[in-house]
């Protein structure tokens, strides 16, 4: 499985953009990058995913480098409710079970 590396924690200011980095240097060409977040004692919530192009939805933007070895999740205007653990995950292909294997994640604290 491709492994991901994220900083263990990050603080950001309410109303400002939050940029969450993720390294996945061993990613294969057909493996997607997924981002989920988990608020305390709840199930993970889907944020966004991508293969090689940058993606944007109502929650966030995903910037993937051209070599696909790293990506950045951008929360454009962080709110207090964005405080959570954010997981960057590389989805393995169908022959490996289409699994999502979680790493350590980044604990994001949004401060007023």
- Using CB under 8 A, list all residues that contact other proteins: 34, 36, 38, 41-46, 49, 87, 97-105
Yes or no: say if 24 and 6 are a contact pair by the CB < 8 Å rule: no
Residue 84 C-beta: closest distance to other proteins, Å: 13
Strand intervals (E) in 39-103:
45-50, 55-56, 61-64, 70-75, 84-91
What phi, psi does 58 have (nearest 5°)? -70, -15
| Closer residue to other proteins (CB): 29 or 43 | 43
Residue 16 C-beta: closest distance to other proteins, Å: 27
| Closer residue to other proteins (CB): 75 or 88 | 88
In angstroms, rounded to a whole number, what is the distance separating the alpha carbons of residues 86 and 97? 23
| Closer residue to other proteins (CB): 14 or 102 | 102
Residue 42 C-beta: closest distance to other proteins, Å: 6
């Amino acid at each position: 499985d491709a492994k991901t590396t994220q900083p263990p924690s990050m603080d950001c200011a309410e109303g400002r953009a939050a940029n969450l980095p993720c390294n996945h240097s061993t990613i294969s060409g057909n493996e997607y990058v997924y981002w989920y977040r988990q608020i305390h004692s709840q199930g993970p919530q889907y944020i966004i995913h991508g293969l090689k192009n940058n993606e944007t939805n109502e929650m966030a933007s995903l910037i993937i480098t051209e070599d696909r070895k790293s990506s950045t999740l951008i929360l454009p205007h962080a709110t207090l409710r964005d405080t959570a653990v954010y997981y960057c995950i590389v989805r393995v292909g169908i022959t490996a079970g289409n699994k999502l294997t979680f790493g350590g994640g980044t604990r994001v604290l949004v401060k007023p």
